């Protein structure tokens, strides 16, 4: 049964549980920053900066309303142009301090539009992906295995389809380069009814912590030098490029008059750009490009 209040309650609980778990790992709490949107709705931003483990992390909840869907949401549904709408979701990005600990991203979201004539049109979307700077095969296997386990109850082919969708989506076309090792991604989900779609979305949201926290705890204290730090900051530039050039969530937030501070919270605190740089062949930095930024079946690798 379609219930926006049940979706909202789940999302707020998800935000709280993720912040609590990550605060325990870091030892520093997330600050609360509530905000209101003039056009309707608002949200709560939870931010941790300057932590011992997390250099910058943000976990956003938003619930916004409008009288006309922005273009990024109606590109595939022109019949909804001008329809009143409601959108809510949780979106997070965690940038660890240690270069051996990967950046992670997750979001789950729900949209509903109510055209003047006809039934409401709704859909879910979301996923999570991992962006290492120095890769470890066991981390990749754990990340993807957790995603596969979460999606297994929803069909034998669901994980494979959503993994491929993630590989295709988190791709910097102007660099011909993937952002990281992927994960799962889905959008426009309404097949099978509201209850199934909501359950699948919850499965993805609930899988984030067991997918990410073991990796973060394993890598957070590894020794590193300025070399690794420099490469981490350089690679963070790719994260900035993707979010500002290609990310649909960023585009939707800006087009719908969302709070800019919350929308751009995903950007890392420090980053370095340099002209036409490439790693030396045979180095760990070069292996990121040759091995980890190439989509592959991590669950069936020898």
Binding residues for substrate are: 91, 107-109, 257-259
Residue stretches of the annotated binding site: 91, 95, 105, 107-109, 144, 174, 257-259
**178 is known as an active-site residue:** no
Strand order through the sheet with 85-96? 31-36, 41-49, 54-66, 85-96, 103-113, 121-131, 182-189
Residue stretches of the annotated binding site for a divalent metal cation: 95, 105, 144, 174
3-state secondary structure 263-281: HHHHCCCCCCCCCCCCCCC
- Taking the C-alpha atoms of residue 272 and residue 246, their distance in angstroms, rounded to an integer, is 20
Burial of 72 (0-12, 13-18, 19+ CB in 10 A): middle
Helical spans, DSSP H, in the chain: 4-26, 71-74, 137-151, 158-169, 194-219, 226-245, 248-255, 260-263, 284-287
Q: How far is CA 114 from the centre of its chain?
A: 27
Number of other CB atoms surrounding residue 52 within 10 Å: 13
- Quick check: 65 and 38 in contact, CB under 8 A? no
Q: Which of 76, 105, 142, 159 is catalytic?
A: 105
What is the rounded (10 degree) CA torsion for 144, 219, 261, 46?
A: 90
Q: Which residues are catalytic?
A: 105
């Amino acid at each position: 049964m379609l219930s926006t209040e049940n979706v909202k309650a789940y999302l707020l609980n998800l935000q709280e549980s993720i912040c609590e778990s990550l605060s325990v790992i870091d030892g520093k709490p997330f600050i609360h920053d509530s905000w209101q949107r003039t056009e309707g709705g608002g949200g709560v931003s939870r931010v941790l900066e300057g932590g011992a483990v997390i250099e910058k992390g943000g976990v956003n909840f938003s619930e916004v309303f409008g009288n006309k869907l922005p273009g990024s949401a109606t590109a595939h549904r022109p019949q909804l142009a001008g329809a009143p709408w409601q959108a809510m979701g949780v979106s997070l990005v965690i940038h660890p301090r240690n270069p051996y600990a990967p950046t992670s991203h997750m979001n789950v979201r729900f949209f509903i539009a109510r055209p003047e004539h006809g039934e409401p049109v709704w859909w879910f979307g979301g996923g999570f992906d991992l962006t290492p700077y120095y890769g470890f095969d066991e981390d990749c296997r754990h990340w993807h295995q957790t995603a596969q386990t979460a999606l297994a109850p929803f069909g034998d082919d669901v994980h494979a389809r959503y993994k491929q969708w993630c590989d295709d989506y988190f791709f910097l076309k102007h660099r011909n380069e993937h952002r990281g090792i992927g994960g799962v991604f889905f959008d426009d989900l309404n097949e099978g009814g509201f209850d199934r779609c909501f359950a699948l979305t919850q499965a993805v949201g609930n899988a984030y912590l067991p997918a990410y926290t073991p990796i973060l705890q394993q890598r957070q204290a590894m020794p590193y030098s300025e070399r690794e730090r420099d490469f981490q900051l350089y690679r963070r530039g790719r994260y900035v490029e993707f979010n500002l050039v290609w990310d649909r969530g960023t585009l939707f937030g800006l087009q719908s008059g969302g709070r800019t501070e919350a929308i751009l919270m995903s950007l890392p605190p420090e980053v370095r750009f340099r002209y036409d740089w490439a790693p030396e062949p045979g180095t760990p930095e070069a292996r990121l490009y040759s091995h980890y930024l190439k989509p592959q079946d991590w669950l069936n690798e020898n």
